[in-house]
Amino acid sequence: MDTTLQDPLVGQVLDGRYRVDARIAVGGMATVYRALDTRLDRVLALKVMHPTLAADGSFVERFIREAKSVARLAHPNVVQVFDQGTDGSYVYLAMEYIAGCTLRDVLRERGALQPRAALDILEPVLAALGAAHRAGFVHRDMKPENVLIGDDGRVKVADFGLVRSVDTQTSTTGAVLGTVSYLAPEQIEQGTADPRVDVYACGVVLYEMLTGGKPHSGDTPAQVLYKHIHEDVPPPSALVPGLPYELDELVASATARTPDVRPQDAAALLGQVLQARAGLSAAQLDALPPQALSAGHDIAEDRTSVIPRSLTVPRPLPVNEDEEEPAPGGVRHTTRLGAPPEPPRRTLQRPRRGLLTLVAAVLVVFGVGAGVWYINSGQFTKVPPVLSRTEAQAKDRLHAAGLDVKQVKHAYSDTVDRGTVISSDPAPGARIRDHDSVTLTVSLGPETVNVPNVKGQSLARARARLKADGLEPGMVTREFSEDVARGQVIGTNPQPGTKQHAGAAIALVVSKGSPVDVPDVTGDDPDSARQELEDAGLKVKIATERVNSEFDKGKVARQTPGDGSRAAEGDTVTLTLSKGPEMVEVPDVVGSNVDDARKELEDAGFKVEEDRGLLGLFGDTVEKQSVEGGDRAPKGSTITITIR
């Protein structure tokens, strides 16, 4: 059954501008619609807060914060926000419309993805979150539903409805905001969040893309929350044998239960992902996944929820189900979350270790000395993972593995923090001889570039200059200018001479030329109106539609932009012609009280004048009317009533 037919907003126009055409999705806080901006004639997504929440000031404030936060990001992998407003009880955001599907749709249809596809989706997600983190914001609700995949292959992060400044207290009295399957342990236990909670959620999303299932499941949200706190996310290869250990390392790094062990933000995790991809062969990246491993999909677990704090605050757990007191000694290490936790799972060993054991057994069966095999293999080791660790930490880890550091190189990096390792040669996981040497490349941080002065240059030349200097042309806005010619650059943001990271986007302000006052041509015939506007340096377009107006048929009924507006030379003014006044039947008010007569005529769309004369100064009854009742007259015209 098409539930959109029952949605009261479908078919309505919000704020006199946004025509709601269809419902796209319903979430815990808002409903998303496909809509048409009738002013700019473009399709967009309209996110409307549930009216029941619009009465809550904190939710409205969070909703508005999303618009402001995302508008500041201006990143190609973040869904753009165009407008925010209210219409009665409806609070809405007008956003970029992405024709396509969500990552959740892909996972439901295909299950586990090939490693290449998973990384192709994860990298732009981390780029978007990295921009948010560097701008000082945390998403707090990363999940497959909020990853949009366009029909053109673009990947964008949506729904910054829970976004919050990094330095803002994020605890919530009595509740935690988020989606249970992707909450980091510190969100559950303390209700606080920094960029590392987004890193944790991305690790869970990567696990889900590689295996087709979530790492933690349970019959209730409380059981899932319990596992996030007390159990590590298992390696994906435990469910999908043959997955490279580099992917296991990525998931383990991102989903470490201790926040300090995780990459500090999405940009740091992106550096690890790029390094891991570089170490994988084409065969490993394109390995076909098994069938979806999830036994089912609980949509309720994917919905952003307000989780009662009672499900997240630790409570004493008795030694057995019959006892209500703690074990002797009074130490309580476990937590009851609304339902008894499941029995601990046995540790899953890596398939690689089991394979080595099998090979050793086969060698023994065929009479080959297992001791010889062990001695030969013992001469080699694997380079441990050292990416995103400090130089000192990397050296300690290599020395502990029996390896030396041959050389330390340095390079600029936009994604890896200054002083931490970008790469190693040989790469992590490579098989080398004991006591061999490894070369480390350590980040110098982002390379900085001075913003050039491009004032007075054409937009094309200014963009080329920015690219030549290692910067990216950013958003272009246009302003009137008396001293800078139309089409030339007025200035940049940041200003010339400002130091920026290499690759940073620089906004450009381009001149619209000197402003032109738009003359009023309403009521004129089209030819004279066109001549007057063209004499003012403007172009003219005649709209195909015609409207009723007070002006005669064929005259200009309205113009856009209107009288008093300012436009740039060469801008277009659209003229809408009149169909003539709308004819309306005149009510019969003879014999009526003057006040009742006036109201009835005005309600019908007429203006009213009174004619009292000397005899009607003290009267209050209508004796006659200028247009007889039942006749038709132009709407908005004046009806004179004679009072006696």
Determine contact, residues 479/512, Cβ cutoff 8 Å: yes
User: Which CATH number fits the domain that encloses residue 190?
Assistant: 1.10.510.10
Where among 426, 446, 466 does a domain terminate?
446
pTM, entire model: 0.47
User: Which CATH number fits the domain that encloses residue 65?
Assistant: 3.30.200.20
Where among 562, 578, 594 does a domain terminate?
578
CA distance 134 to 73: 10
Annotated active-site positions, please?
141
Blockwise average pLDDT, block size 10, the chain, 644 residues: 64 92 84 92 90 76 71 83 86 89 90 94 94 86 92 85 44 49 88 89 96 88 87 91 92 93 94 94 86 44 46 36 32 32 37 38 34 40 87 91 90 81 88 86 85 94 90 88 92 91 86 90 94 92 91 93 85 93 92 93 92 75 92 90 87
CA distance 402 to 391: 17
CA distance 302 to 182: 9
Residue 319 lies in a domain: no
Which residues are 511's β-sheet partners? 479
Residues 259 and 110 in one domain: yes
Beta strand extents in 217-328 (DSSP E only): 305-308
Domain that includes residue 494, residue range: 448-511
Name the CA dihedral angle for 15, 20, 23, 29, rounded to a multiple of 10 degrees: 0
Sheet strand arrangement including 556-560: 539-547, 572-578, 556-560
Residue 345 lies in a domain: no
Instruction: Name the 3-class secondary structure at 111.
Output: coil
One-letter amino acid for residue 55 of the chain:
A
Residues 571 and 555 in one domain: yes
pLDDT at 33: 94
Residues 202 and 303 in one domain: yes
Determine contact, residues 458/426, Cβ cutoff 8 Å: no
Please state the φ and ψ torsions of residue 66, each to the nearest 5 degrees: -60, -45
Determine contact, residues 224/218, Cβ cutoff 8 Å: yes
Tokens standing for 500? 């920026």
Instruction: Name the 3-class secondary structure at 295.
Output: coil
Side-chain-facing half-sphere of 395: CA atoms under 13 Å: 9
Where among 511, 526, 541 does a domain terminate?
511
pLDDT at 178: 56
Side-chain-facing half-sphere of 268: CA atoms under 13 Å: 25
